[in-house]
């Protein structure tokens, strides 16, 4: 049977170009309470002494595992790495449904459960980027024994002055704004406009603080945002439903070693509130002369700083057990 032609005067939407893998390794799918989840995994193929490393991309209009590619490809040479694709992004289940903080946190719980089934109950190291740092921190507070350390790259939640911080449950969600974005008349068309190649370049310039953004990421952003149903999770993001009101309480309650890394350039480097965690014994903060993606702009320096943090953490752990 042949497909019916579109009505006269209307142009059929082109089928999206297939979405390639954002990183190397093998892609896996698992069923979960938050829908079908996709993740990538790679290992050295030899017996490893180090714990598995979980990498979690950010949430934005074009969030994808490509955002953590430099770290994934670097560390897969020496240890097992996992890259989760959060609900509504990548090859994980998309579509029109309610996207919540609980959903994103439970997705992390599920991938950690999967990792521990594969590698045993020993705690893992985890890295979050931007808004996913909030979900990771929440997951850690709910299952602290599953984690050895947390690395927070350009974490959200630190931009307000300390006195303006809220310590109650809830989100910054605006139902009227989400309803406006999801109006059938323009929901898909507006998102296509927002995620045009020019629009993506505009936001990456703001993220990098310069025109020197990664072109491979820009190309992948375009492909992933032009998949069927790509607009739904981002609309919950821009409407505020994925930002926690109590995130500083969550950060403050972390007791495991935490490494926070952020840049100095661009529109996403406001960390007025980090004074609430500066000086805490379990927090280490490194600042890079970059935008909000220091692991792209200064990969060698970033990796060296993270490895130093992990070495100190492991030395301290070894000393405490002697």
Side-chain half-sphere CA neighbours of 251 within 13 A: 30
Phi-psi map region of 9: left, alpha, beta (phi>0 left; psi -120 to 50 alpha): left
Q: Are 83 and 65 in contact (CB under 8 A)?
A: yes
Q: pTM for the complete prediction?
A: 0.90
Could you tell me the CATH superfamily of domain 26-321? Answer: Alpha/Beta hydrolase fold, catalytic domain (3.40.50.1820)
Gap between the terminal Cα atoms of the chain: 73
pLDDT tens for each residue of 248-257:
999 999 999 9
pLDDT tens for each residue of 98-151:
999 999 999 999 999 999 999 999 999 999 999 999 999 999 999 999 999 999
pLDDT for residue 321: 46
pLDDT for residue 44: 79
Please report, for the chain, the start and end positions of each structural domain, with discontinuous segments joined by +: 26-321
CA distance 125 to 130: 17
CA distance 249 to 176: 27
Residue recorded with tokens 């190649």: 197
pLDDT for residue 188: 85
Q: What is the mean pLDDT of residues 141-168?
A: 82
CA distance 78 to 185: 50
> Sheet harboring 283-287: ordered strands across?
26-30, 37-42, 81-85, 53-56, 124-129, 147-153, 258-262, 283-287
pLDDT tens for each residue of 1-60:
333 343 333 334 456 688 999 999 999 999 999 999 999 999 876 666 789 999 999 999
């Amino acid at each position: 049977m042949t497909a019916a032609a579109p009505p006269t005067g209307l142009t059929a939407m082109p089928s999206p170009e297939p979405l390639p893998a954002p990183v190397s390794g093998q892609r896996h799918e698992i069923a979960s309470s938050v829908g079908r989840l996709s993740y990538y995994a790679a290992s050295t193929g030899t017996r490893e002494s180090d714990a598995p490393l979980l990498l979690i991309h950010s949430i934005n209009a074009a969030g994808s595992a490509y955002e953590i590619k430099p770290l994934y490809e670097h560390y897969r040479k020496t240890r097992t790495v996992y890259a989760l694709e959060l609900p509504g992004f990548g090859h994980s289940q998309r579509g029109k449904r309610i996207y919540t903080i609980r959903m994103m946190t439970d997705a992390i719980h599920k991938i950690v459960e999967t990792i521990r089934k594969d590698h045993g109950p020993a705690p893992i190291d985890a890295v979050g980027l931007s808004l996913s740092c909030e979900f990771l921190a929440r997951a850690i507070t709910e299952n602290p024994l599953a984690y050895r350390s947390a690395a927070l790259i350009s974490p959200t939640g630190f931009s307000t002055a300390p006195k303006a911080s809220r310590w109650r449950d809830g989100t910054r969600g605006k139902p009227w704004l989400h309803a406006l974005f999801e109006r059938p008349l323009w929901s898909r068309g507006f998102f296509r406009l927002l995620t045009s190649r020019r629009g993506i370049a505009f936001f990456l310039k703001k993220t990098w603080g310069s025109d020197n953004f990664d072109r491979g990421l820009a190309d992948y952003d375009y492909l992933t945002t032009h998949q069927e149903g790509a607009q739904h999770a981002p609309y919950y993001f821009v409407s505020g439903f994925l930002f926690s009101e109590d995130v500083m309480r969550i950060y403050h309650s972390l007791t495991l070693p935490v490494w926070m890394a952020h840049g100095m350039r661009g529109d996403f480097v406001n960390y007025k509130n980090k004074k609430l965690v500066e000086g805490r014994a379990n927090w280490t903060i490194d600042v890079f002369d970059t935008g909000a993606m220091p692991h792209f702009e200064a990969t060698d320096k970033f990796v060296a700083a993270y490895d130093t943090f992990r070495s100190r953490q492991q030395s301290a752990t070894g000393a405490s057990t002697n």
